[in-house]
Chain A
Amino acid sequence: MLAESLALSAVLFTIGTIGVLTRRNAIVIFMCVELMLNAVNLTFVALSKVYGMAGQVFVVFVMTVAAAEAAVGLAIIIAIFRHKQTVNLENINLLKG
């Protein structure tokens, strides 16, 4: 089942990447990043059956970082929404020259 797991993980990662590139809603893009993290976690778990339990330990770390990232990122989105009244990335272009 290792090959199937790795293929599924690659497909999920690709779907997440396509979501990041095609959507404009900042919150949906953020959720796509979470999907990509999940795909990587699946790789870790699948390979932990071959290479030892360290893979599952890394999954725990990835989840912690994802939780911290979600908290800070959503706080940033709330701050931007207060400033701009939108979460559409087309309207958030302060760095555009």
Chain B
Amino acid sequence: MPNFFYEVHFYLFGLLAIASSIAFVTRKSPVAAALWLVNTMFCLAALYAMLEAHFIGVIQVLVYAGAIMVVFLFVVMLLNLGQPSDLVDIRGKWGRLAAGLLGLALLAQVIVLAGRKLPEPFTPGGGYDPIAVRDLGAVGSVAQPLFNEYLLAFELTSILLLVAIVGAVVIGRRRRVDAR
């Protein structure tokens, strides 16, 4: 049941997420940008927990803020790009104009959509079911559809990860000069 305490924290984490993402886009140093992005992801994890998606919140911290961002920082370290470059990192007039126009268009879409009503749930008995979540737990309620309706997609995901591993190794490998 949303109460005052809940709403205050919801808005707090939402504003923190927006502030850190703006800081992330405007930082010159890639390391500072990456750390602000980690902060955004932590705020989003808190919001997931408040939206009663506890498992997704944990996965967000472990996979996104933990694994993926560490890979990014690792590449920044490997290529020695830590210090902000002397070259101007921001694009010129046209890039900023295009970004501004796109931002305004997206904002207009949000304002138009804000007046619309959500369609009715199209799955019978759809919606968040507190009883099922209580019975199955936070992990089980996600695992139940994942290993039943979406089992094929789940298995295909493992092939995707295998291909990604092989691709990363092949592309990132240093080729010998006399190889060709």
Chain A residues within 8 Å of B, Cβ to Cβ: 1-5, 7-8, 10-19, 21-25, 27-28, 30-32, 34-35, 38, 41-42, 45-46, 48-54, 56-57, 59-61, 63-72, 74-79, 81-82, 87-88, 90
Contact = CB atoms under 8 A, between A and B. Distances in A.
B128 A60 contact: no
B79 to A, nearest CB: 5
A51 B127 contact: yes
19 contacts: A2-B118, A3-B114, A10-B106, A12-B21, A18-B25, A24-B88, A25-B30, A27-B81, A35-B40, A41-B44, A41-B56, A51-B122, A52-B126, A57-B145, A59-B53, A59-B59, A70-B72, A79-B172, A90-B87
Contacts, number: 225
B47 A42 contact: yes
Interface residues of B, number: 85
Given A22-B99, A71-B164, A72-B168, A14 B79 contact: no
A75 B48 CA distance: 31
A60 B59 contact: yes
A45 B56 contact: yes
Interface in B91-132: 91, 95-96, 98-100, 102-103, 106-107, 109-110, 114, 118, 121-123, 126-129
